[in-house]
Amino acid sequence: MGREIERKFLVNGDHWRSEADTGIVFRQGYLSLEPDRSVRVRLAADRGSLNIKGKISTLSRHEFEFEISAEDACEILDKLCIQPLIEKTRYRLTRGGLIWEIDEFAGDNAGLIIAEVELESVEQGFDAPEWLGEEVSHDPRYLNINLVTTPYSQWPDRSPHKG
């Protein structure tokens, strides 16, 4: 069984860009918007995938991913997925032995930039890069699945919620 332990942070400034790769454009959509489980279809460059996640805790989820053809991914995104789709460019960089994925959103979520890091355990520590902003792991608004139903462009207050 796959398992994902992930922490999310807002990004301050553009200093990360000099360390990041060139980025890959993503289009992704959801077939299910259940709060504790999701079914996502993604097209990343020319690679299609089907992803199923189930919540274990705020930071941890069961995760299963299956490759599908780019053609099937496009058809599912255009004809079956709940709109709007998530559009973003994902950049990757390595810091302190960890791979950081930085998502710069476009479309209805333009202006939002989130850094994610996958960890081996919930307790694992790491050195925070200087461009790392406030942690939003516990704020459900920043989950991609919730950015479909309430895009960043519609938020009256675009700061992280406390609590």
Q: pLDDT of 91-110, one tens digit each? A: 999 998 999 999 999 999 99
| 159 in a structural domain | no
H helices of 30-120, in order, are 70-79
Q: What is the mean pLDDT of residues 129-154?
A: 94
| 84 in a structural domain | yes
CATH number of the structural domain spanning residue 117: 2.40.320.10
Range of the domain at 101: 3-154
Q: Which of 30, 91, 142, 152 is catalytic?
A: 30
| 50 in a structural domain | yes
Clarify whether 30 is annotated catalytic: yes
Tens digit of each residue's pLDDT (9 = 90 or more) over 16-59: 999 999 999 999 999 988 878 889 999 999 999 999 988 777 66
- Tell me the longest C-alpha to C-alpha distance in the chain: 43
| 127 in a structural domain | yes
> Cis omega (within 30 of 0) on the bond before 84?
yes
pTM of the shown model:
0.88
φ/ψ (deg, to 5) at 136: -125, 20
| 85 in a structural domain | yes
Task: State residue 163's pLDDT score.
Answer: 43
| 45 in a structural domain | yes
Domain count, the chain: 1
| 161 in a structural domain | no
Higher pLDDT pick, 2 / 34: 34
Task: State residue 139's pLDDT score.
Answer: 94
| 140 in a structural domain | yes
CA distance 19 to 29: 29
